Chains A and B, each alone.
Chain A
Amino acid sequence: MEQHAEVLIGAAWHRRVPTWRDAVATLLVLAIVILLGSGAHQMVGHFVTTEQPRISLSPNALPAYALRTTLRMLAALVASLIFTFIYATPAAKSRRAETVLIPLLDVLQSVPVLGYLSFTVVFFVSLFPGTSLGPELAAIFAIFTAQAWNMAFSFYQSLITVPTDLDEASRSFRFSGWQRFWRLEVPFAMPGLVWNMMMSMSGGWFFVVASEAISVGNIQIALPGIGSYVALAIQQRDLAGVGWAIVAMTVTILIYDQLLFRPLVAWADKFRFEQTAALVVPRSWVLDLFRGASLLRLLGEPIDQAVQASLRARLALPRKPRWLADFAPPRRAVDVAWYGFLLASLGYVGRKLVQFAEPALSWGDVTIAVGDGVLTLLRVVILIALATVIWVPIGVGVGLRPKLAEKVQPVAQFLAAFPANLLFPVAVFLIVKFALNPKIWLSPLMILGTQWYILFNVIAGASAFPSDFREAAASFRIRGWRWWRQVMLPGIFPYYVTGAITASGGAWNASIVSEAVSWGPTKLSGSGLGAYIARMTEAGDYPRIALGVAVMSVFVITMNRLLWRPLYAFAQRRTRLD
């Protein structure tokens, strides 16, 4: 979910139209996921669902569940961070690696998160038969797939935009690669990375619910956690249970925010690249507490020094021996070899895919999936439009009143982080009770969680709107519709686009959860691509899951490239004064 959050830190996008690279990368991702999945699928015969701990619906069990869920989130976050460093660094440093890694990342982040889950769960479960480690890892991996991509993107964007003068200074000091990484690159990327970690976290909460109670084909797993609790509550039509889960989740997110992200943001403030002092310095009582605790500091000192020393150590690779340095094959030759290799692996992968799909799929399947995709696309477009009409005026109204904005902004951010799927049962309960048409009334669920991105970005835009523009508009007595069209809307446009991109990406992702929902034995389906994937997942029909996921990726990428990126570029260009 939360894809393209990197735009929030003002990084530039390069390409605007879909290129051959996207096609190639789509192919690669699909192939890897399918090969992993089908390979593991064959082993599934040996799999015996282990003694699973029974999930309790007692509210007393919730704190322990919340803790387990949070631990999974943290583990996934750490994994995402490591992945980010390992993946984005070569992508930014090597031209040849970049041609593969970046389009791949683009596709990876447009694959709906639950698409990974259905393929990888079997793999992980069969990796550690007989223990709960397999399902645990599968859940963590699912959360990881909701978190990692935009972090890697943000890091990559930072690496390629390292200011020239700092780059030259580091080179003239002759920093080793290791020193450069920790002294220049990581600190420079830190603000964007922290922001994206927060975005990732909200994405993770959303899918933690889905990834703890896994049901793929004949595999049924329920890991102890809030997600399983909710799943059970839904199964047993326990509305009070759902209520308790919502309370637990709210408290968990608040604690997490206070204990982890607030301090992180306050700490990362020193990595801001602007040389001017900030008007509002982010603060955190936790960080102040730790900074003020002298005993703790005393204990922490040796650790701090050890970390510092290791980050400052040269750790340079041995210099290339002279004969190797002198041996430099012509660039073109290496290029030809590299692209030849890529082409060959592509051919192999393509053949495998065809072999996999041919016996199981027909063109009829493709037509159905694409038709469903169009339906979901229609929903996304209408919902974004609706959310825009509702939240833009409200956001502007709030943003222009600093006192109010100060109070509303954290609430909007909290709502964006809150896993909206916890509220789905409530909605389903209402739909069933009033016998509403699920095709229409299930749709708003898609945007329930992500509409807040529009709201808080618009608030941010309106608060940042220069007051002299407003005063000029007032002194020329520009009012009413003209005021919106000529003054305010152009002013908040770049912020709005950023919010809308995130909201639309999130809506696509959420469609899998929201187009097909259940309440006890009652199953509601809104049809659409999300419902299609959900249905196929339940049936364990791998070729069709793959098809659905592929179609969704194509829709998302196309929409990003043809609509959002040009809009974003336009916003960047038009609203710049210099």
Chain B
Amino acid sequence: MDAKPNSPIIEMRKVCKAFAKPSGEPMPVLADIDLTLREGEILGLLGRSGSGKSTLLRIAGGLITPTSGDVLYRGAPLSEPAEGIAVVFQSFALFPWLTVLENVEAGLDALGLAHDEAKRRAMSAIDLIGLDGFQSAYPRELSGGMRQRVGFARAIVIEPVLLLMDEPFSALDVLTAETLRTDFLDLWVERQLPTKSVLLVTHNIEEAVMMCDRILVLSSNPGRIAAEIQVRLPHPRNRLDTEFHNIVDEFYSILTSRTMESVGALSQLHGGLAQPLSPVPTNRLAGFIEALASSSYEAHAELARIAGALGLDIRDLFPIAEALHILEFAELKDGTIKLTAAGRVFAQSGTEERKRLFREHLLGFVPLAAHIRHVLDEREGHLAPRVRFESELEDHLNPNDTEKTLRAVIGWGRYAELFSYDDETKMFTARDRP
């Protein structure tokens, strides 16, 4: 309130966070984060899953303490949830046993406010956020959109200086999310909120460009700030604007080049075994290839466009694109994706032919799959336990990635009929090919 315009609300210097692996060694999630959130701005954090963006938001809220580095909230060190910071959760985090009004009042109880005063303030927040008439309902009676409105009312009722939003719209359907976003932006632009600044975590590029003044792109494993983009468009912003479009495209380019870099770098290390894979179901890969090969794209598409058309957000899109790129069924470049010759053949083929092609590419371009097959061929009885590969992978990857990579290679190997896997005994077995 007495802060000067544009004075920093949150400052982070060299913030790192590592969680302990089961084995006890640290697993870095965030590395060397420097950021400043200034008064009057909405700052976006954009990244794929595993980029630590939610962890970063929780550090800003004092819910998690960083392993090293400094966090300042209005100039003072922050080590636990502080007055004036409110969080809106992806899952809403409403107390199911409290009514809408009681949920909103709950935030005020902690301030030790008299009950009458709490009720008055809660009612005015409910009014502001458009929940009139729902005060006595329980959350389970409400739709998702209404529930998140309660989440917003509960956050703004404490008149926060800083509002932290953790993917607040991602659990909602497209239409509801859009309504809530617009309503929130209206309140923000008209300065009806006491809030000075907002930190928004999202995986939705358009949402970030729609709402934020500045956007930080986080890379994965561990999360670092990979790029920063200013969005200087005036509100209300229009998705159909060329300018809007260009910014969205820029993000896709940044994200593709980050993906390419990590794929390129990791495939060189340790004979390619250090390459983490995402377990994308083969049906999705095939479906994407077919869509790309269809007449509307003719084997070549801008990621932004095909993502919109297929209704994929970056959490879905990038793992697919990355998998196709690794398997050399498609090529990623500057925010576009293009089918390779093999990809085009795949799109035209029948089941058996597809499997054969997939097997060849799996053996040729995924060193881990080739390695498993090789070990099975060498061994008597053609059996190998999962732990064996697990421990090999864990030399290079964290347990989470190891698990995902094995899941990916098992799914793909089963489809390609390269080997089979018994989840009960945790054993790989060679499958005799015809």
A residues contacting B by CB (< 8 A) are: 163, 165-166, 168-169, 171-176, 179, 183-184, 187, 190, 270-277, 309, 312-314
The residue that A275 contacts in the complex, of B89, B90, B96, B109, with Cβ under 8 A, is: B96
Q: Using a Cβ–Cβ cut-off of 8 Å, how many residues does chain B contribute to the interface with A?
A: 30
B110 at the interface (CB under 8 A from A): yes
Q: CA–CA, A179 to B109, complex, Å?
A: 8
- Residues of chain B contacted by A275 (CB below 8 angstroms): 96, 139-140, 147
B58 at the interface (CB under 8 A from A): yes
Q: CA–CA, A172 to B64, complex, Å?
A: 11
Would A174 and B91 be within 8 Å (CB), given that A183-B109, A271-B97 are in contact?
Answer: no
B residues contacting A by CB (< 8 A) are: 58, 61-63, 81, 83, 85-87, 89-93, 95-98, 106-107, 109-110, 112, 115, 138-141, 147, 158
Would A276 and B140 be within 8 Å (CB), given that A168-B93, A173-B110, A314-B112 are in contact?
Answer: yes
- Other A-B pairs, 12, CB within 8 Å; known A166-B93, A270-B96, A274-B140: A165-B89, A165-B90, A165-B91, A169-B89, A172-B61, A172-B85, A172-B86, A173-B158, A179-B109, A183-B98, A184-B95, A314-B112
Nearest to B83 among chain A residues (CB) is: A174
Q: CA–CA, A309 to B114, complex, Å?
A: 9
Would A277 and B110 be within 8 Å (CB), given that A169-B93, A172-B81, A184-B95 are in contact?
Answer: no
- Residues of chain A contacted by B62 (CB below 8 angstroms): 172
Nearest to B141 among chain A residues (CB) is: A277
Q: CA–CA, A168 to B86, complex, Å?
A: 11
Q: In the complex the two chains form, is B97's CB within 8 Å of A270's CB? A: yes
18 A–B contacts, CB within 8 A, in A order? A165-B93, A168-B87, A168-B89, A169-B87, A172-B63, A172-B86, A172-B87, A173-B106, A179-B109, A179-B110, A187-B95, A190-B97, A270-B97, A273-B96, A274-B96, A275-B139, A277-B141, A314-B112
The residue that B81 contacts in the complex, of A171, A176, A313, with Cβ under 8 A, is: A171
- Residues of chain B contacted by A314 (CB below 8 angstroms): 109-110, 112
Q: CA–CA, A273 to B109, complex, Å?
A: 22
The residue that B110 contacts in the complex, of A165, A175, A274, with Cβ under 8 A, is: A175
Would A168 and B58 be within 8 Å (CB), given that A175-B110, A179-B109, A270-B138 are in contact?
Answer: yes
Nearest to A314 among chain B residues (CB) is: B112
Top 3 closest pairs, chain A to chain B, by CB: A165-B93, A169-B93, A187-B97
- Residues of chain A contacted by B115 (CB below 8 angstroms): 309, 312
Q: CA–CA, A183 to B107, complex, Å?
A: 11
Q: CA–CA, A165 to B58, complex, Å?
A: 11
- Residues of chain A contacted by B147 (CB below 8 angstroms): 275
- Residues of chain A contacted by B63 (CB below 8 angstroms): 168, 171-172
Nearest to B151 among chain A residues (CB) is: A169
* Shortest Cβ gap from B198 to chain A (Å): 15
- Residues of chain B contacted by A270 (CB below 8 angstroms): 96-97, 138
- Residues of chain B contacted by A172 (CB below 8 angstroms): 61-63, 81, 85-87
- Residues of chain A contacted by B112 (CB below 8 angstroms): 313-314
Q: In the complex the two chains form, is A183's CB within 8 Å of B95's CB? A: yes
- Residues of chain B contacted by A274 (CB below 8 angstroms): 96, 140
* Shortest Cβ gap from A216 to chain B (Å): 45
* Shortest Cβ gap from A315 to chain B (Å): 10
- Residues of chain A contacted by B61 (CB below 8 angstroms): 172
Q: CA–CA, A274 to B138, complex, Å?
A: 12
Q: In the complex the two chains form, is A272's CB within 8 Å of B96's CB? A: yes
Q: CA–CA, A365 to B98, complex, Å?
A: 58
Q: CA–CA, A275 to B138, complex, Å?
A: 10
Q: CA–CA, A187 to B115, complex, Å?
A: 21
Nearest to A273 among chain B residues (CB) is: B96
Q: CA–CA, A312 to B83, complex, Å?
A: 18
* Shortest Cβ gap from B159 to chain A (Å): 13
Q: CA–CA, A179 to B141, complex, Å?
A: 25
- Residues of chain B contacted by A190 (CB below 8 angstroms): 97
Q: Which of B86, B90, B92, B109 has its CB near the most chain A CB atoms (within 10 A)?
A: B109
- Residues of chain B contacted by A169 (CB below 8 angstroms): 87, 89, 93, 95
Q: CA–CA, A183 to B106, complex, Å?
A: 8
Nearest to A168 among chain B residues (CB) is: B63
Q: CA–CA, A270 to B136, complex, Å?
A: 13
Q: CA–CA, A271 to B138, complex, Å?
A: 11
- Residues of chain B contacted by A277 (CB below 8 angstroms): 140-141
Q: CA–CA, A371 to B138, complex, Å?
A: 58
